[in-house]
Structure formats: C-alpha cells, structure tokens
Amino acid sequence: MSQKITAAITAIDAYLPPDILTNFDLEKMVDTNDEWIRSRTGIIERRILKTPGWASSDMAAEAIKSLLEKKNIDPLSIDVIICATVTPDMVFPATANIIGDKVGMKNAWGFDLSAACSGFLFGLQTGAALIESGKYKKVLVVGVDKMSSIIDYTDRNTCIIFGDGCGVVLLEPNFDGYGIMDCILKSDGSGRKHLHQKAGGSLKPASHETITNKEHFVYQEGQAVFKAAVKGMADVSYEILERNNLKSEDIAWLVPHQANLRIIDATRERMGLPEEKVMVNIQRYGNTTAGTLPLCLYDYESQLKKGDNIILASFGGGYTWGSIWLKWAY
C-alpha cells in the first residue's frame, strides 16, 4: 500500500530591507501622527527597500540563498518556485523566473501568483498539491512585495500601512502525518472596487494621463475593506476549526495576515484564543502584503514545536481570503 504524502514546511527564511520608515518620519510627510497610526493599526515602523536597482526578485533571492545555505541544499535540487506577489519586477517575465536565474535554480520551473494579501496562502496550497501529487520533492513558496513601489507617499490613507519584505518556505513530502492538513480558500472579484491599482494593466495601460492622475498607486477604501476583512478572516478561521473538530485549546498558534491589529484581534476572539497564541509583528513591518505570513513564521520559528497545530489566515485584495491548518513538522 502506498503511503499518504503530506506537504510539510521544512525550512523558512526571510529578507527585510535595512531601511526603516517610522511613524515619526511619516508625520513629516503627510498629515498624520504616531498616536493615530498606533491606535488604529498597531504599526510603529515598516521597512523600505532603498538599494538602487533592487526589486522584489532581489529580496526573494537573498531569502532563498540564505535558506539553501542554512540547510545545505543545492539550488539545482529545487523543483518549483511559486512567487506570490503584486509587485513583480516586470509585467513579464514572471518574477519566479528571475529569482530562479539569480539563485541558479536551473532545474526549477515556476510562476507568479497574484492574490494580494492571500498570495502566500494560495501559494502554499498550490505548492502542497504539487508535493502531494508525488511528482515534486522540493517546492519553494515565496511571499514578497516591494509595496513602496506602488504607494503614494502623499496619501495618508495608504502610505502609513504598507512596508517591504519577503519570506520563503521550503515544502517537502512528509510520510508521518505532519504538514498541511486542510485549507479553505475564497475569492470574490466583486470586492476589487474597494482595493486595486487602476492603471498599468491591459484595462488602462500607462499613459501621461494615468501618471498625472496617480493611477499607478494602491487605491483602497479602508473602511469597506476593514469590514469585509473582519468578517472574512474570522469566518474562515472559525470554519476550519469546526470542520476538523479542533477546539481552541488544540491550537498552538494563529498566524494572521498583518494588515491591522484590530482585524487580528477580531479573528483571535472569534477563535477563542488568548493573545499569547497569536503571531504579531505588524508593529515592526506594517503590511508587507504577500510577505506577512512567512515573515511571522520566520520571527517565531524558534518557538514552534513539532506537532504544533497552526492556523494561517488572511484577507486582502481581490477580495481573496482563506485559512490553512498545518501540523508543524520540526
């Protein structure tokens, strides 16, 4: 009888740009203040990629090189690279291809996945399916965004929220029942009106007019997204517990998308979890879009134990949202 294959995270790494943009820096740029930002979002500072000539692929390449070196893995042994991002280096080719070139992963194929803040979650499930198929042994799932490349730093509604960063995980087959157990993923394209980038796609290619109208930046109606996020993220996180007969005391960690501390708290409360079981690093990095979930896992890696039940949850542009239940494998 063949053994059941599950897909387990076997390594994590990250890259965070060294430059820090604090709430006090933002006070000098737009009409805002540290107290408002902290109390409404939980954010204190965020990282901004300023290295000349560096794009999303460079942050990802740094994170992956570090992961491969740490685990003594040959870049040629990587089968697939899934790059979740809304800030690709270029419209085409895919950032995954560029990363593959920069790291020397010459035997890997890959693609970009556009699901905004849920990109890493969607990528993790896609990568898991490839591993579970039995055909692939080493799949990298990258969550990376250089949000500063699409943020208008004169718009206080958006510039206070976002930051740059990258996290990456390695997925490998597991035969002992660890790894990704279940997932609920959702999309609702009607939510696009509240959160999008107006120009630069085939609907509205770049022109003098789109630049003058600042249409290459993130457009967000904060309150509408906030309401949908509170409901969406809490609902799926609760649903995944229920359908797997998991009680709140069975959960070691909730790993929520880091968009707003108030959204995180609402999800935690719905799941009946105490604060100490929730990974939070929004105060230091802000919202790094596809980067938030792997950056949380990276920051908390030393506290994770084999067998821990972990719930990942996200909500973001699209709308896209979902949750994944996994059993930590090391």
Distance of alpha carbon 251 from alpha carbon 246, whole angstroms: 8
Q: Which residue, 118, 139, 120, 115, is CA-closest to 129?
A: 139
Non-local (6+) Cβ contacts of 307 within 8 A are: 178, 327, 328
Q: Which of 83, 117, 159, 296 is catalytic?
A: 117
**What would you measure as the largest C-alpha separation in the chain, in angstroms?**
66
Q: How far is the CB of 220 from ligand UT7 (least distance, A)?
A: 6
- Tell me the closest approach of the beta carbon of residue 233 to ligand UT7, in angstroms: 9
Give the residue with the Cβ less far from ligand UT7, 126 or 292.
292
Site of interaction with ligand UT7 (CB under 6 A): 32, 36, 40-41, 117, 156-157, 160, 222-223, 225-226, 229, 259-260, 263, 287, 316-317
Which of 166, 260, 287, 296 does the annotation list as catalytic? 287
Nearer to ligand UT7, 179 or 232 (CB): 232
CB 210, min distance to ligand UT7, A = 22
- CA separation for the pair 249, 230 (Å, rounded): 22
Structure tokens at 37: 């930002």
Q: Residue 166 catalytic?
A: no
CB of 230 to ligand UT7, least distance (A): 9
253-256/109-113 β-pairing? unpaired
Residue number with CB closer to ligand UT7 (100 or 317) = 317
Which CB sits closer to ligand UT7, 229 or 266? 229
Dihedral (Cα; 109, 88, 74, 167), 10-degree rounding: -130
Q: Give the integer Cα–Cα distance in Å for 207 and 287.
A: 29
Closest CB to ligand UT7: residue number: 222
Q: Determine which one of 23, 183, 194, 257 is catalytic.
A: 257
Active site residues: 117, 257, 287
